[in-house]
């Protein structure tokens, strides 16, 4: 009997695990873009598999992203419209539908863009910004690369050699580690530097461009090898590197991201040291934290010819102090403001805010994101994008959040190949 009960329990758990409540939220304009004070109607439709929604609790929240909600309430239908919404400034207005079934809550959302190309950054530009970074780069380049390159036979094949690499960064014994892929065929090749999203984890290299004979260098930023057991990274994430974007924020010379930004510059030096590199055609590519690092690297290193960036983090961090969404890692939002809103930390932030690197870009760039990003708010992203004076293309997939769709990956690779091999 006990065995039968256990089997039935597992069956029911399996059915429940595959149960899905689908919530589609939409705006009444196809492009989700509106004028200031233009009326916005959000529509929603809720469906499910395997379970009844008869007793489901349905609620909604509407507000400017990352700001207190303007409206919230209950809904008594599985589909309908929520009318008479508007925003009286440039920004993003988000409608979130929450459906609670039993002890589980499902979420769907749509985010209306209100004159996004008029969003302005709030972060200040230090008068010695360029001097600070030029001096920092000069100092770190006094340290030789002292590169180490080790073939990984089990990942290599007839088309590509794969290497675990490292090089000295901003001080002796502070190393940047990564995975390098190089075409086996004799010749000179263009290169892509891939800079990482947030987190502490292992890397295995990028093989998407192997058939196109492009060198790739995928780096980590934390000064540790990128091929260790996952438990090492998990322990660091919960221990010494917990909340690493907050480390030494009170001193611009020792803030955590200083060694990171300089490490990206040294990664360009490393690529230029490769005998297989063609010495000219190089791009930098990344998303989220990597999107931020892509902009930073291109700004600091004029040898970068092309920039590819998804939903960049670290944009307009001070937005929260001016009643608009600031960028990840949300140093000054309601949760973190009390510990970071100090004179010394506020002095540091502008030297690392991506907006100020975006101001100085000269390279052509491909950018991509969606309006539903809850990690890197589009308000903060547009604050940086709007100050870029270099040639720029935006591949918008408005319904997406903090994720990359197959079409974005395809667009990225096609763009990089076209630029680097034209």
91-101 β-sheet, strand order: 33-34, 104-114, 91-101, 57-64, 71-75
| Other C-beta atoms lying within 10 Å of the C-beta of residue 253 | 10
Question: Which residue stretches of 18-94 are H helix?
Answer: none
Q: Which two tokens stand for residue 350?
A: 């502008």
Rounded (10°) CA dihedral 256, 332, 124, 249: -20
**Among candidates 51, 63, 30, 144, which has minimal Cα distance to 106?**
51
Pairing state between β 215-219 and 175-183: antiparallel
CB-hemisphere CA count at 13 Å for 140?
Answer: 28
Catalytic residue among 288, 299, 368, 380: 288
Helix (H) or strand (E) holding 347: helix 343-352
| Residue partners of 367: CB distance under 8 A and separation at least 6 | 309, 310, 385, 392, 393, 394, 395
As a whole number of angstroms, the distance between CA 375 and CA 311 comes to: 9
Active site residue 273: no
Contact indicator for 161, 207 with CB cutoff of 8 Å: no
Active site residue 316: no
Active site residue 338: no
Give me the DSSP letters along 355-421.
Answer: HHHHTT--S-EEEEE-TT-SSS-HHHHHHHHTT--S-EEEEE-TT--SS--HHHHHHHHHHHHHHH-
Question: Which residue stretches of 209-288 are H helix?
Answer: 230-238, 256-273
Catalytic residue among 222, 316, 373, 380: 373
Helix (H) or strand (E) holding 350: helix 343-352
Q: Which two tokens stand for residue 342?
A: 């100090």
Q: Annotate 332-345 with b (16+ C-beta within 10 A) or e (fewer).
A: bbeebeeebeeeeb
β-sheet bridge partners, residue 97: 60, 108
Contact indicator for 191, 240 with CB cutoff of 8 Å: no
Dihedral sign of CA atoms 172, 178, 179, 183 in order: negative
Catalytic residue among 177, 222, 330, 402: 402
Distances in Å between the alpha carbon of 389 and those of 10, 118, 151, 393? 58, 14, 41, 12
Positions marked catalytic? 288, 373, 402
């Amino acid at each position: 009997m006990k065995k039968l009960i256990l089997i039935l329990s597992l069956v029911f758990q399996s059915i429940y695990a595959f149960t899905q409540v689908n919530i589609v939220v939409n705006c009444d304009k196809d492009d989700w873009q509106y004028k200031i004070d233009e009326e916005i109607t959000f529509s929603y439709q809720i469906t499910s598999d395997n379970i009844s929604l008869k007793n489901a609790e349905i609620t909604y929240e509407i507000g400017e992203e990352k700001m207190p909600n303007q409206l919230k309430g209950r809904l008594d239908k599985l589909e309908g419209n929520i009318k008479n919404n508007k925003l009286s400034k440039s920004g993003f207005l988000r409608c979130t539908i929450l459906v609670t079934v039993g002890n589980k809550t499902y979420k769907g959302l749509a985010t209306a863009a209100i004159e996004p190309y008029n969003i302005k950054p709030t972060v200040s530009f230090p008068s010695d910004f360029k001097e600070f970074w030029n001096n920092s780069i000069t100092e770190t380049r006094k340290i030789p690369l002292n590169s180490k390159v080790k073939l990984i036979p089990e990942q290599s094949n007839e088309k590509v050699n794969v290497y675990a690499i490292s090089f000295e960064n901003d001080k002796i014994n502070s190393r940047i580690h990564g995975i390098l892929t190089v075409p086996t065929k004799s010749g000179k090749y263009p290169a892509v530097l891939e800079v990482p999203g947030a987190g502490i984890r292992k890397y295995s290299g990028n093989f998407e461009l192997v058939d196109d004979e492009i060198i790739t260098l995928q780096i980590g930023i934390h000064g540790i090898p990128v091929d260790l057991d996952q438990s090492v990274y998990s322990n660091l994430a919960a221990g010494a590197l917990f909340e690493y974007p907050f480390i030494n924020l009170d001193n611009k010379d020792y803030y955590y991201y200083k060694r990171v930004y300089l490490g990206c510059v040294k990664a360009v030096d490393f690529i230029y040291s490769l005998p297989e590199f063609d010495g000219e055609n190089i791009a930098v590519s990344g998303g989220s934290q990597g999107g931020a690092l892509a902009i930073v690297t291109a700004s600091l290193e004029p040898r970068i010819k092309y920039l590819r960036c998804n939903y960049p983090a670290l944009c307009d961090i001070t937005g929260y102090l001016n009643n608009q969404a600031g960028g990840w890692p949300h140093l000054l939002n309601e949760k973190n403001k009390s510990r970071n809103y100090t004179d010394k930390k506020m002095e540091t932030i502008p030297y690392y805010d991506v907006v100020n690197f975006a101001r100085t870009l000269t390279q052509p760039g491909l950018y991509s994101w969606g309006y539903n990003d809850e990690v890197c708010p589009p308000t903060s992203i547009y604050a940086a994008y709007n100050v870029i004076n270099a040639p720029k293309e935006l591949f918008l997939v408005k319904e997406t959040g903090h994720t990359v769709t197959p079409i974005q990956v395809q667009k990225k690779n096609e763009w990089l190949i076209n630029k680097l091999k034209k």
